[in-house]
Structure 1
Amino acid sequence: MAMSMTQLGQDPAYARFLGAPVGEDRTGTSVSVLSMLARLNVDPWNEASDLAKMQEAPARQRLEALLARFEDVPTLLADQGRVASGLLAFLPNRAKTAGPSGNGSVAQSVKLPTGAPLYWIIAAALFLGWIVTLAQGN
């Protein structure tokens, strides 16, 4: 049976971003964001999560810096800004700053992940129950 991303503990919400192409390397192979980050020794899911939590400007700056470090795709040098903007659009639940609210403060919308922690708690409880049953010899 093939393992899915959720079975491996990786958030499928980032699949679109991580699967997006950044260009072709010198051998003509299409390189995805996931491949690029892995080649840069950066954890792809952690990076995607961090970028999704950042405001637009810092996220774009960070992604452009990663693109600049990645020399396997020669066409990235000229298109970093355009590629970064396109890739950031694939990130889910981007933290965005709204305009000033009625009291002059700036509201910020951050959507927390739902469900995933609950699944791990249930799985851990079932696993521990199984271990106890085995230990009792039943």
Structure 2
Amino acid sequence: MTEFSGLESQYDAFLFASLSETDEVTLSVLSLLARQDVDPWQEAARLTRLPKDQAINNLAAKIWKSNSERWSPSEASIVAARLIELLPSHSHVHSSPLWAGDNTGRLTFWMVTWMLFMSVAISGHNIQKSTSDSRALASSVSAAAQEHAVTGSSR
């Protein structure tokens, strides 16, 4: 089992969420996982790292396994989808958009902006260089054509 100092409150909403309630008992995710001899906090952390669909399927299997007479596979999936939304990485709020108030978001924004600026600057320089190279080539072709015309008319 997890040591008490290692318990992570970020999983509390998920672990203490109710799966079902009867007159006598409320079954929480924590009690469901403990009954299956699974460390609830480790499982919450594992589910957080999984892609959302895979996390839902994993939790639904545990719910169905806990009482297949009570839950149909589709009911277990519906409940699991609701519960997975309570995990930090699977909630609707994105963790760090480019415009976030934290320093990481700000740094990301300015790095992307700088890279775009440099790309435009390099592209502009290359276009300018190729245009001047084209003009130089055109003037040398023009000079060669004039020279050829002069030498051809003098014959």
TM range (shorter): 0.5 to 0.7
When the two chains are superposed, the root-mean-square deviation of aligned CA atoms in Å is 2.8
**Which among 29, 32, 41 is matched to residue 33 of structure 1?**
29
Q: Structure 1 runs of 4+ off > 2 angstroms?
A: none
Q: Distance in 2 between matches of 1:41 and 1:73?
A: 20
Q: Does the Cα contact within 8 Å between 1:54 and 1:94 map onto a contact in 2?
A: no
Distance 1:7 1:36, change over 3 A: closer
Distance 1:72 1:29, change over 3 A: farther
Q: Distance in 2 between matches of 1:13 and 1:29?
A: 25
The Cα offsets for residues 77-100 of structure 1, whole Å up to 9 and x where unpaired, read as 3611110110000000239xxxxx
Distance 1:37 1:72, change over 3 A: farther
> Which structure ranks higher in relative contact order (CA pairs < 8 Å, sequence separation ≥ 6)?
1
**Paired letter, 2:28:** S
**Which among 19, 23, 47 is matched to residue 20 of structure 2?**
23
Which residue is equivalent to 1:127?
Answer: none
The Cα offsets for residues 10-67 of structure 1, whole Å up to 9 and x where unpaired, read as 1110000000000036x73001000110011111000000000110111111111111
**Paired letter, 1:10:** L
**Which among 6, 9, 13 is matched to residue 12 of structure 1?**
9
| Identity between Structure 1 and Structure 2 (%) | 32
Is it true that 1:80 corresponds to 2:72 in the alignment? Answer: no
**Paired letter, 2:26:** S
Q: Which has the higher strand share?
A: 1
Unaligned runs of 5+ in 2: 92-155
Other structure's SS at 2:90 match: coil
Which residue is equivalent to 1:94?
Answer: 90
- Taking the TM superposition and a 5 Å limit, the aligned residue runs for 1:1-138 are 8-24=5-21, 28-71=24-67, 74=70, 76-77=71-72, 79-94=75-90
- Give the TM-score taking structure 2 as reference length: 0.51
Distance 1:41 1:89, change over 3 A: same
- Give the TM-score taking structure 1 as reference length: 0.57
